[in-house]
Structure 1
Amino acid sequence: MSWSGAWALVPAKRFTTAKQRLGGLLDAAGRATLACAMLDDLLALLAADTDLGGTLVVGEDPQARGLCRRHGAFFLAASDKDGLNDAVARGAQALARRGAAAVLVVPSDLPGLRLADLAALRAGLAGSDVALVPAERDGGTNLLASRLPLGFAPVYGPASFARHQAAAAAAGFSVAEPDCPGARADLDRPEDLPALIGCGPRTRSVLARFAPGLLPGSLPPVASPVLIPTAAG
């Protein structure tokens, strides 16, 4: 195994605190299981990308460490006090120290992500120092790729796409905006349910178990939430 090349960096918060804004549709057990399944699907996708040097997960949850072992990814423990920006900065620093040439920051809540999107992201980075893909809804950043070492501080959050553009430009970096259609929609709020179309097999299995009414093709109105019993076995 070589640390050279482009590596995927996946920030993963504790599953029990993930997807709080889906509380009207899934209870705590359902949300935690969904977050775990989505990370599982993402790591399977990244493991299938033969052009990646490898995958590093920066996370808090012990289950995430187990998923990394299953998919051949590396795990860097994060503090409960670390936010998304801290996790990305720490992971990028760790990869740079080990000789990785570039980092692709890939969140686990992009259910439509495909290998073609990752290839387009790398292609954008091939001719630029930084590549960015915006979120459809709030102007956030759904994908970020950069040569290493990372020359600016991550500033994730609403409207972060413009802030990342400005930070990269201020550092003197060229910025590409590749077309990655599977990466534009994330799953964070009830109104994001259409993003589940094309979700991975583990995510689909969890939805079939906890909330069959949420499966693509039968997405319920947001005004009619599906409540999931905690005791589901």
Structure 2
Amino acid sequence: MTQPRWAVVVPVKRLAVAKSRLRGALPGVPHEELALALAADTLRAVLACPAVAEALVVTDDARVAAAARAAGARVLPDEPDAGLNAAFRHGAAGATAGWVAGITADVPALRPAELAGALLAAQNGRQGVRRFLPDAPGEGTVLLTAGPGVPLDPRFGVGSAVAHAASGALPLDGDWPSLRRDVDTAADLTAAARLGLGPRTAALVAAGRPARAAG
């Protein structure tokens, strides 16, 4: 991969409704601050990835938009209540790079080198085929890629790994633990912390104590 050639789409919900299952994970830390930190650390790693030519944040939250612009991302307006897949499609349609990836905004331990490895694997794989990376449990999806001229055609949501496979996308195979570790629950946040969190999320974890996961 000799030059940046990827556009990466990062949809972010309004902070008031984002990451609802994570609410209360850090006692004493406002939930919106945690949701913003997850997205900011994800975006920071995306922008630091040498394969990425541009990052597009799709949101209708003013705080998210301001943080994204300050970090160097391009912001596209999200349509309220249109849903995550519509946001991914909107971002992909606005991309200027030929290769497009969609990533969830909740991978705060993400290492730029791991993202670069996954994008290189997608780029070197079978042409004309979308690729996806399941999350750590294997049921969801953290990354979806498409080459030039190939629609991203996202199927994010419950059981998205199966949905993406059924749509013709092929799974990516590689050792990228920080990329696969999305954060939906307090237990996920603890697991991400073991990998090493980005600075904003790490600061909030230091300020609060993660709630004990049930079981």
What's the TM-score once normalised by structure 2's chain length? 0.86
| Contact in 2 for aligned 1:92/1:149 (Cα 8 Å) | no
1:191 counterpart = 2:182: no
Other-structure match for 1:181: 177
1:27 CA drift (Å): 6.9
* Identical aligned residues as a percent: 31
Amino acid at match of 1:183: L
Q: In structure 2, what is the Cα distance between the partners aligned to 1:51 and 1:94?
A: 18
Other-structure match for 1:34: 34
Q: Tell me, which stretches of 5 or more residues in structure 1 are unaligned?
A: 170-174, 215-219, 225-233
| Contact in 1 for aligned 2:51/2:119 (Cα 8 Å) | no
Amino acid at match of 2:182: D
Q: In structure 2, what is the Cα distance between the partners aligned to 1:118 and 1:136?
A: 15
1:190 CA drift (Å): 2.6
1:28 CA drift (Å): 10
Matches within 5 A, 1:1-233: 5-26=5-26, 30-95=30-95, 98=96, 100-128=97-125, 129-137=129-137, 139-151=139-151, 153-168=153-168, 175-179=170-174, 180-192=176-188, 193-197=190-194, 198-209=196-207, 211=208, 213-214=209-210, 221-223=212-214
Q: In structure 1, what is the Cα distance between the partners aligned to 2:25 and 2:13?
A: 20
After the TM superposition, which of the residue ranges 23-32 and 104-113 deviates more from structure 2?
23-32
Q: Spell out, residue by residue over 1:47-101, the C-alpha distance to the aligned partner (whole angstroms, 9 max, x if none).
A: 2223211100011210111112211110001022121111001111121xx4x21
Secondary structure of the structure 1 residue equivalent to 2:81: coil
Secondary structure of the structure 2 residue equivalent to 1:105: strand
Q: Tell me, which stretches of 5 or more residues in structure 2 are unaligned?
A: none
Q: Which has the larger radius of gyration?
A: 1
| Contact in 2 for aligned 1:151/1:168 (Cα 8 Å) | no
1:131 CA drift (Å): 2.3
Q: Aligned pair in 2 of structure 1 residues 20, 27: CA closer, same or farther (>3 Å)?
A: farther
Count how many residue pairs are aligned between Structure 1 and Structure 2. 206
Q: In structure 2, what is the Cα distance between the partners aligned to 1:222 and 1:138?
A: 20
Other-structure match for 1:229: none
Q: Spell out, residue by residue over 1:98-117, the C-alpha distance to the aligned partner (whole angstroms, 9 max, x if none).
A: 4x211121212112211122
Q: Spell out, residue by residue over 1:181-212, the C-alpha distance to the aligned partner (whole angstroms, 9 max, x if none).
A: 21222110233232232111111112223x1x
1:32 CA drift (Å): 0.6
Q: Spell out, residue by residue over 1:11-38, the C-alpha distance to the aligned partner (whole angstroms, 9 max, x if none).
A: 1111111121123434796221011112
Q: Aligned pair in 2 of structure 1 residues 158, 7: CA closer, same or farther (>3 Å)?
A: same
Secondary structure of the structure 1 residue equivalent to 2:167: helix
Q: In structure 1, what is the Cα distance between the partners aligned to 2:6 and 2:121?
A: 13
The CA RMSD over aligned residues, in Å, is 2.3
| Contact in 2 for aligned 1:7/1:104 (Cα 8 Å) | yes
Q: Aligned pair in 2 of structure 1 residues 162, 10: CA closer, same or farther (>3 Å)?
A: same
| Contact in 1 for aligned 2:104/2:142 (Cα 8 Å) | yes
Secondary structure of the structure 1 residue equivalent to 2:100: strand
Q: In structure 2, what is the Cα distance between the partners aligned to 1:127 and 1:43?
A: 24
| Contact in 2 for aligned 1:120/1:178 (Cα 8 Å) | no
